[in-house]
Structure 1
């Protein structure tokens, strides 16, 4: 396989978009219709009871079933099911527009970045509650102490090469998965950049950061990631 960093803009690049899903029937139609033409949407159903999986399949998405609950479990199941050159991740609650991932993929394909993260810019009342912002700020500070990276956001929207992501050996299957990806990528010497993205109020109720308690439980998961030792040559698939 040709390294993605050497591909020219004219070289065909395949892209899979992983969409972790738990009861997102209300948002799925708009999210899936915003996926760029030619890309594949991978909806990872994490135990929905509202018909999300059937809706996704009916709209042409590939549905992956992950019975083990957890944001990281759903994301990693999607990564393992992906087959494209580049894998993107995006929430499927309607807060983020997957159409904006074209700029992310371009930066990866052009060799400008190895991992592109979406820096959320809230638009609309209630898009990013205070407790969620506070948790994100605390984690950004802890990440800087651990890696030296100066990032503004550790949000869920991102893109990187599939084979490289698998090679990071990610093990967290809870809320720490997005942070672990950044930490392991930094440890591996990846070029990590941010891209501004509008962040809108989500459809439905948040499963993780909808309350102070949920936010700080997620922060606890991520703190464990920051305190964990770097795995020595271990690859988990």
Structure 2
């Protein structure tokens, strides 16, 4: 069983040593540098990670570049800001590996005041409700920590390259009949400022991307649930 952990990265030099130090033994860290100016790429390479350069700015662009660079059976996604512990990823991998789920998400549970600002929690709740209306899935969180089989995810043919990428993954998985599950994970105060919801511009772009994804009509996807667990 081979596992790659995709870590989209934009100026995360402060957090990288902790994050990479928590990657499970035998798993490969794939750090996707999305235009860092603080030496993140060189630092990640020096710490033993595989570094991929993605010049197109966007969370989805970085995640998808990591997916394309992976050659493992399973691929994990995790933020690179030390807000989530990649050492917990085996807990999410188990149900995917044993065939009881096709996509597992980490449900963020804040460990301290300020770890997850109220406006961000409210936005996530609203998004979860919109997702339920669109797909029927009842999820509490659409966080960035998740595990899936690589070939199956490629079959979903994700197109969003900005903030809508995580949502599009879940929407298209639901359209394909996948079993989507979630498990609790601690959510720590992040290192640095959020590149998405930390600014008004980032928030506006995120809302626009999300609306576009939710407007997609349901469609039969390339990979069905039965094929994922085969």
TM-score, normalising length from structure 1? 0.91
The answer as to 2:115 corresponding to 1:127 is: yes
Deviating more after overlay: 104-113 vs 84-93: 104-113
Stretches of structure 1 that go unaligned for 5 or more consecutive residues are 1-12
Looking at structure 2, the residues matched to 233 and 141 of structure 1 have their Cα atoms a distance apart, in angstroms, of 23
2:127 maps to 139
Instruction: Identify which of 163, 168, 174 aligns with 1:186.
Output: 174
Stretches of structure 2 that go unaligned for 5 or more consecutive residues are 224-230
Once the two structures are superposed, residues 138-171 of structure 1 have per-residue CA deviations (whole angstroms, 9 ceiling, x without a partner) of: 1111100000001000010000000000000100
Looking at structure 2, the residues matched to 20 and 48 of structure 1 have their Cα atoms a distance apart, in angstroms, of 11
Instruction: Identify which of 27, 32, 57 aligns with 1:69.
Output: 57
CA drift of 1:233 comes to 5.5
The answer as to 2:152 corresponding to 1:164 is: yes
Note if contact 1:118-1:194 (Cα within 8 Å) is conserved in structure 2.
yes
Distance change in 2, residues 1:234/1:160 (3 Å): closer
CA drift of 1:213 comes to 5.2
Looking at structure 1, the residues matched to 220 and 92 of structure 2 have their Cα atoms a distance apart, in angstroms, of 30
Note if contact 1:131-1:211 (Cα within 8 Å) is conserved in structure 2.
no
Runs of 4+ in 1 over 6 A off after TM superposition: none
TM-score, normalising length from structure 2? 0.94
Count of equivalent residues = 223
Looking at structure 2, the residues matched to 84 and 56 of structure 1 have their Cα atoms a distance apart, in angstroms, of 20
CA drift of 1:135 comes to 1.2
Looking at structure 1, the residues matched to 221 and 6 of structure 2 have their Cα atoms a distance apart, in angstroms, of 26
Paired residue secondary structure (1:228): coil
